[in-house]
Chain A
Amino acid sequence: MPYLIAIVIPAYHEAPRLRGVLTAIPWLLPEVGERRVIVVDDGSTDATAAVARQAGAIVVRHRVNLGAGAALRTGTEAALKLGADIVVHMDADGQHPPEDLPRLIDTLLRGADAVTGVRAFHRPMPWLFIFGNRFLSRVTRALFGIANPDTQCAYRAFWAWAWPSICWESTDYAFASEMLVRAKRHGIQWDTIPIRTIYLDHYKGTGIGDGVRIFRKLVSWRLGA
């Protein structure tokens, strides 16, 4: 059965790198199905939306910047509205290797409900991120019994039917942890596959403040708040 696969890419001021990402996304195997690329322009003031349209992507635009969690939620809901069977999340800055995409899909086709990439925690990943990612993954395991070694990796795919079980409220970077916690509580089988680690710059995306917020939210979810 051919599946409609929606690749959701949240983008905020990513015009310089977005074209490369969009052109690098491989056409999936014919027997797997059709793909649609949805770029969520999260309130950018640069040419992010125009670049995405020129590359043939469906552009969903936030009038103001809401954050990565909100952008991915909008993109996922747009994917479901388009009738997607499988939803893929991918970063806009080129840090998620497109060549790993078929392996993500293949993991779903082999029986997983959802799958996340796992990066190698060594260089070129900055030391601070190595510590932060390891720490948050271990806290998540200790508090919820989730054995995902890279809970903050945003390269993932899941079946559309799993959406009600993993739908998150966080508008910030805590959404990645929140969806794993919700999935665990609803019995979603969440697999992981190793992916290539790419870091194009050191100080973009999450920072120390985000890590502290994610930790605080993990504790509050554990306490039932």
Chain B
Amino acid sequence: MPPAVQLLAFAFALAMAYLSYVGFRRRHFGLGGFVFWEIIWAGLVVVSLAPGLFQPLARTFRVARLLDLVVVVGMLVLGAVTYQNYVTVQRLRRQVERLVRDLALAEVPEASKTPRAES
């Protein structure tokens, strides 16, 4: 019986692989993105089922178990993804604001087209 952490990683990888497939079918991202994420989750499945295969890699990075290395790398990737999301959201926010405001202002006539009443 493999350790619980391996079973957890395996179940997590399967679930994420399925969600990536659903995202691809719903056209949330393209074929390139789908292949990238499926490779990530497939790698996690292999590591969780047969960690011994990659034990030399773990020794190279001086960690006790390969899953520990996966966790460390995962944290680094998470930080990078969070940063990328932040930058993307900020850019989209500015673009949406510009678009919404331009659409609103397009309905306002220019001063020359709106005669000023004598007071």
Q: A residues within 8 Å of B by Cβ? A: 2, 4, 30-34, 40, 58, 60-64, 66, 70, 73-74, 77-78, 81-83, 171
Closest Cβ of chain B: how far from A43's Cβ, in Å? 8
Given contacts A70-B97, A74-B101, contact A58 B119 (CB under 8 A): no
The 7 residue pairs across chains A and B that have the minimum distance between CB atoms: A83-B111, A78-B108, A2-B119, A60-B104, A74-B101, A81-B108, A62-B100
Q: Which residue of B lies closest to A67 (CB)?
A: B97
- Are B109 and A82 in contact (CB-based, < 8 A)? yes
Interface positions of B from 52 to 105, Cβ below 8 Å from A: 96-97, 100-101, 103-105
Given contacts A2-B119, A64-B96, contact A82 B111 (CB under 8 A): yes
Complexed CA–CA distance, A94 and B111 (Å): 29
Given A34-B117, A83-B112, 10 more A-B residue pairs with CB atoms under 8 Å apart are A40-B104, A60-B107, A66-B96, A70-B100, A77-B101, A77-B105, A78-B105, A78-B108, A81-B111, A83-B114
Using Cβ atoms and an 8 Å threshold, which residues of chain B touch A63?
100, 103-104
- Are B97 and A66 in contact (CB-based, < 8 A)? yes
Range, interface on chain B: 10 to 19
**B116 in contact (CB, < 8 A):** yes
Using Cβ atoms and an 8 Å threshold, which residues of chain B touch A70?
97, 100-101
Complexed CA–CA distance, A54 and B76 (Å): 57
Using Cβ atoms and an 8 Å threshold, which residues of chain A touch B100?
62-64, 66, 70
Q: Which residue of B lies closest to A84 (CB)?
A: B111
- Are B119 and A60 in contact (CB-based, < 8 A)? no
- Are B101 and A58 in contact (CB-based, < 8 A)? no
Given contacts A70-B97, A81-B110, A82-B114, contact A62 B119 (CB under 8 A): no
Using Cβ atoms and an 8 Å threshold, which residues of chain A touch B111?
81-83
Complexed CA–CA distance, A4 and B110 (Å): 14
Using Cβ atoms and an 8 Å threshold, which residues of chain B touch A40?
104
- Are B116 and A83 in contact (CB-based, < 8 A)? yes
Given contacts A34-B117, A34-B119, contact A62 B104 (CB under 8 A): yes
Choose from B97, B112, B114, B118 the contact partner of A171 (Cβ within 8 Å): B97
- Are A81 and B116 in contact (CB-based, < 8 A)? no
Using Cβ atoms and an 8 Å threshold, which residues of chain B touch A31?
119
Closest Cβ of chain A: how far from B98's Cβ, in Å? 10
Q: Which residue of A lies closest to B93 (CB)?
A: A171
Q: Which residue of A lies closest to B117 (CB)?
A: A34
Complexed CA–CA distance, A32 and B119 (Å): 8
Complexed CA–CA distance, A83 and B110 (Å): 8
Complexed CA–CA distance, A82 and B119 (Å): 17
Interface positions of B from 2 to 30, Cβ below 8 Å from A: none
What are 27 A-B pairs with beta-carbon distances under 8 A? A2-B118, A4-B116, A31-B119, A32-B119, A34-B119, A40-B104, A58-B108, A60-B105, A61-B107, A62-B101, A63-B100, A63-B103, A63-B104, A66-B97, A66-B100, A70-B100, A70-B101, A73-B101, A77-B101, A78-B108, A81-B105, A81-B108, A81-B109, A81-B110, A82-B114, A83-B112, A171-B97
